[in-house]
């Protein structure tokens, strides 16, 4: 799988609105989206915050826990 976040090797400016920082990385989209460190952090934390709390991992764990409980009865 290709990393969708690539290190920027050019001197492109950050693509975020109102941001004039130099980009340190870019996202591999049809049109490259350049991001500076600051916006990258913002994007990352927002992406994590927006993630649905029910991750498949948790669902599996809950099922296993339930099974374990049943076995103890």
Site of interaction with Zn ion (CB under 5 A): 14, 16, 19, 21, 36, 39
- The count of other CB atoms within 10 Å of the CB of residue 39 is 20
Closer CB to Zn ion, 13 or 66, in the complex:
13
CB of 25 to Zn ion, least distance (A): 10
CB of 21 to Zn ion, least distance (A): 4
Identify the CA nearest to 44 among candidates 8, 4, 10, 17. 4
**CA–CA gap between residue 19 and residue 39 (Å, rounded):** 8
- For residue 51, the minimal CB distance to Zn ion (Å) is 22
């Amino acid at each position: 799988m290709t990393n969708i976040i690539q290190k920027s090797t050019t001197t492109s400016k950050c693509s975020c609105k109102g941001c004039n920082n130099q980009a340190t990385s870019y996202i591999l989209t049809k049109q490259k989206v350049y991001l500076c460190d600051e916006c990258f952090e913002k994007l990352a934390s927002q992406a994590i915050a927006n993630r649905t709390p029910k991750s498949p991992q948790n669902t599996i764990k809950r099922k296993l826990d339930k099974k374990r409980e049943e076995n103890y009865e």
